[in-house]
Amino acid sequence: MEFNEKLQQLRKSRGLTQEELAEALFVSRTAVSKWESGRGYPNIDSLKELSRFFSVKIDELICSEEIISAAENEKKEFIGKYLSFLCGALDVFMAVLLFIPVFGNGAGSAVSLFGLTGVSPWIKAVFLIVLCLTVLQGICAIVISRLDKPVWSRHGITAGMLLSIACSAVFLLTRQPYPGLICFAALVIKGFLALKAK
Protein backbone atom coordinates (compact mmCIF):
# COMPACT_ATOMS: atom_id res chain seq x y z
CA MET A 1 0.00 0.00 0.00
CA GLU A 2 1.34 3.42 -0.99
CA PHE A 3 1.85 6.28 1.48
CA ASN A 4 -1.11 8.27 0.17
CA GLU A 5 -3.45 5.29 0.63
CA LYS A 6 -2.13 4.61 4.15
CA LEU A 7 -2.61 8.26 5.10
CA GLN A 8 -6.18 8.30 3.80
CA GLN A 9 -6.94 5.09 5.67
CA LEU A 10 -5.47 6.39 8.94
CA ARG A 11 -7.28 9.71 8.65
CA LYS A 12 -10.65 8.08 7.87
CA SER A 13 -10.21 5.53 10.67
CA ARG A 14 -10.05 8.48 13.08
CA GLY A 15 -13.07 10.10 11.43
CA LEU A 16 -11.13 13.22 10.49
CA THR A 17 -11.51 15.48 7.50
CA GLN A 18 -8.44 16.68 5.63
CA GLU A 19 -8.89 20.09 7.22
CA GLU A 20 -9.04 18.66 10.76
CA LEU A 21 -5.88 16.63 10.14
CA ALA A 22 -4.16 19.70 8.70
CA GLU A 23 -5.06 21.72 11.80
CA ALA A 24 -3.76 18.98 14.08
CA LEU A 25 -0.45 18.87 12.18
CA PHE A 26 -0.18 22.66 11.71
CA VAL A 27 -0.02 22.37 7.93
CA SER A 28 -2.35 23.56 5.20
CA ARG A 29 -5.30 21.50 3.98
CA THR A 30 -3.74 21.75 0.52
CA ALA A 31 -0.66 19.93 1.82
CA VAL A 32 -2.76 17.07 3.21
CA SER A 33 -4.71 16.91 -0.05
CA LYS A 34 -1.46 16.77 -2.03
CA TRP A 35 -0.12 13.94 0.16
CA GLU A 36 -3.34 11.93 -0.11
CA SER A 37 -3.58 12.34 -3.87
CA GLY A 38 -0.01 11.09 -4.31
CA ARG A 39 1.24 14.37 -5.76
CA GLY A 40 3.89 14.80 -3.07
CA TYR A 41 5.29 13.69 0.24
CA PRO A 42 5.48 15.47 3.55
CA ASN A 43 8.83 16.78 4.71
CA ILE A 44 10.70 14.93 7.46
CA ASP A 45 9.20 17.05 10.25
CA SER A 46 5.68 16.46 8.99
CA LEU A 47 6.38 12.71 8.73
CA LYS A 48 7.44 12.72 12.38
CA GLU A 49 4.25 14.57 13.32
CA LEU A 50 2.12 12.11 11.33
CA SER A 51 3.89 9.21 13.02
CA ARG A 52 3.30 10.70 16.47
CA PHE A 53 -0.28 11.73 15.72
CA PHE A 54 -1.34 8.30 14.46
CA SER A 55 0.96 6.37 16.88
CA VAL A 56 2.66 4.44 14.09
CA LYS A 57 6.30 4.10 13.09
CA ILE A 58 7.53 6.17 10.17
CA ASP A 59 8.49 3.04 8.25
CA GLU A 60 4.88 1.81 8.62
CA LEU A 61 3.71 5.04 6.98
CA ILE A 62 6.20 5.25 4.19
CA CYS A 63 8.57 2.80 2.49
CA SER A 64 12.30 3.44 2.17
CA GLU A 65 12.06 4.49 -1.49
CA GLU A 66 9.38 7.02 -0.60
CA ILE A 67 11.52 8.32 2.28
CA ILE A 68 14.43 8.82 -0.10
CA SER A 69 12.16 10.59 -2.58
CA ALA A 70 10.75 12.82 0.18
CA ALA A 71 14.24 13.67 1.41
CA GLU A 72 15.40 14.51 -2.12
CA ASN A 73 12.37 16.75 -2.67
CA GLU A 74 12.99 18.51 0.64
CA LYS A 75 16.65 19.01 -0.27
CA LYS A 76 15.70 20.49 -3.66
CA GLU A 77 13.23 22.87 -2.01
CA PHE A 78 15.82 23.96 0.55
CA ILE A 79 18.46 24.54 -2.13
CA GLY A 80 15.95 26.52 -4.21
CA LYS A 81 15.05 28.74 -1.25
CA TYR A 82 18.71 29.21 -0.34
CA LEU A 83 19.64 30.05 -3.92
CA SER A 84 16.76 32.50 -4.22
CA PHE A 85 17.79 34.18 -0.96
CA LEU A 86 21.47 34.48 -1.98
CA CYS A 87 20.66 35.81 -5.44
CA GLY A 88 18.24 38.30 -3.90
CA ALA A 89 20.90 39.40 -1.40
CA LEU A 90 23.35 39.98 -4.27
CA ASP A 91 20.74 42.11 -6.03
CA VAL A 92 20.08 44.14 -2.88
CA PHE A 93 23.85 44.60 -2.54
CA MET A 94 23.77 46.51 -5.84
CA ALA A 95 22.34 49.43 -3.82
CA VAL A 96 25.93 50.24 -2.83
CA LEU A 97 26.50 51.39 -6.42
CA LEU A 98 24.22 54.33 -5.64
CA PHE A 99 26.57 55.61 -2.94
CA ILE A 100 30.16 54.43 -3.45
CA PRO A 101 32.46 56.34 -5.83
CA VAL A 102 32.80 53.96 -8.78
CA PHE A 103 31.47 56.12 -11.61
CA GLY A 104 33.98 57.86 -13.85
CA ASN A 105 33.44 61.60 -13.95
CA GLY A 106 36.22 62.52 -16.36
CA ALA A 107 39.85 63.44 -15.65
CA GLY A 108 40.37 60.19 -13.70
CA SER A 109 38.03 61.11 -10.84
CA ALA A 110 35.43 58.75 -9.43
CA VAL A 111 32.13 59.77 -7.84
CA SER A 112 28.94 58.15 -6.62
CA LEU A 113 25.95 57.97 -8.94
CA PHE A 114 24.37 61.01 -7.28
CA GLY A 115 27.56 63.03 -7.80
CA LEU A 116 27.93 62.04 -11.44
CA THR A 117 28.01 65.06 -13.76
CA GLY A 118 29.93 63.86 -16.81
CA VAL A 119 26.95 62.17 -18.51
CA SER A 120 23.62 63.31 -19.87
CA PRO A 121 20.67 63.31 -17.44
CA TRP A 122 18.80 60.55 -19.31
CA ILE A 123 21.80 58.18 -19.02
CA LYS A 124 22.01 58.95 -15.32
CA ALA A 125 18.27 58.22 -15.10
CA VAL A 126 18.79 54.87 -16.87
CA PHE A 127 21.55 54.03 -14.35
CA LEU A 128 19.21 54.86 -11.48
CA ILE A 129 16.30 52.88 -12.96
CA VAL A 130 18.26 49.67 -13.60
CA LEU A 131 19.86 49.81 -10.17
CA CYS A 132 16.55 50.48 -8.40
CA LEU A 133 14.82 47.69 -10.35
CA THR A 134 17.64 45.30 -9.42
CA VAL A 135 17.43 46.20 -5.73
CA LEU A 136 13.62 45.91 -5.71
CA GLN A 137 13.82 42.56 -7.45
CA GLY A 138 16.35 41.45 -4.83
CA ILE A 139 14.01 42.42 -2.01
CA CYS A 140 11.19 40.50 -3.72
CA ALA A 141 13.47 37.45 -4.17
CA ILE A 142 14.36 37.48 -0.46
CA VAL A 143 10.69 37.66 0.51
CA ILE A 144 9.75 34.91 -1.97
CA SER A 145 12.53 32.69 -0.64
CA ARG A 146 10.65 32.62 2.67
CA LEU A 147 7.45 31.44 0.99
CA ASP A 148 6.70 27.93 -0.17
CA LYS A 149 6.57 28.89 -3.86
CA PRO A 150 9.40 27.18 -5.80
CA VAL A 151 8.07 28.41 -9.17
CA TRP A 152 8.16 32.01 -7.94
CA SER A 153 11.71 31.46 -6.66
CA ARG A 154 12.83 30.20 -10.07
CA HIS A 155 11.22 33.19 -11.80
CA GLY A 156 12.87 35.53 -9.28
CA ILE A 157 16.28 34.03 -9.95
CA THR A 158 15.75 34.36 -13.70
CA ALA A 159 14.60 37.98 -13.34
CA GLY A 160 17.65 38.74 -11.18
CA MET A 161 19.98 37.23 -13.78
CA LEU A 162 18.36 39.25 -16.58
CA LEU A 163 18.63 42.45 -14.55
CA SER A 164 22.30 41.74 -13.81
CA ILE A 165 22.90 41.28 -17.55
CA ALA A 166 21.06 44.56 -18.24
CA CYS A 167 23.05 46.43 -15.58
CA SER A 168 26.35 45.08 -16.86
CA ALA A 169 25.45 45.96 -20.44
CA VAL A 170 24.23 49.47 -19.59
CA PHE A 171 27.32 50.32 -17.56
CA LEU A 172 29.81 48.82 -19.98
CA LEU A 173 28.16 50.38 -23.06
CA THR A 174 28.24 53.82 -21.41
CA ARG A 175 31.92 53.41 -20.52
CA GLN A 176 31.43 52.95 -16.80
CA PRO A 177 33.65 49.88 -16.32
CA TYR A 178 33.74 49.65 -12.52
CA PRO A 179 30.00 49.42 -11.90
CA GLY A 180 29.77 47.20 -14.99
CA LEU A 181 32.37 44.82 -13.56
CA ILE A 182 30.62 44.75 -10.18
CA CYS A 183 27.32 43.82 -11.86
CA PHE A 184 29.08 41.26 -14.03
CA ALA A 185 30.74 39.74 -10.95
CA ALA A 186 27.31 39.44 -9.29
CA LEU A 187 26.02 37.74 -12.45
CA VAL A 188 28.92 35.27 -12.45
CA ILE A 189 28.34 34.46 -8.77
CA LYS A 190 24.62 33.88 -9.41
CA GLY A 191 25.43 31.64 -12.38
CA PHE A 192 27.93 29.66 -10.32
CA LEU A 193 25.39 29.22 -7.50
CA ALA A 194 22.71 28.11 -9.97
CA LEU A 195 25.06 25.54 -11.50
CA LYS A 196 26.05 24.23 -8.07
CA ALA A 197 22.37 23.92 -7.13
CA LYS A 198 21.75 21.54 -10.05
pLDDT value for 145: 84
- Which pTM does this prediction carry? 0.65
* pLDDT tens-digit readout, 117-156: 878 889 999 999 999 999 999 999 999 888 877 778 788 8
With residue 104 as reference, give the H or E element that holds it. Answer: strand 103-104
pLDDT at 48 over 70: yes
| DSSP collapsed to 3 states, 60-89 | HHCCHHHHHHHHHHHHHHHHHHHHHHHHHH
* pLDDT tens-digit readout, 167-192: 999 999 998 889 999 999 999 999 99
Contact 40, 34 (CB under 8 A): yes
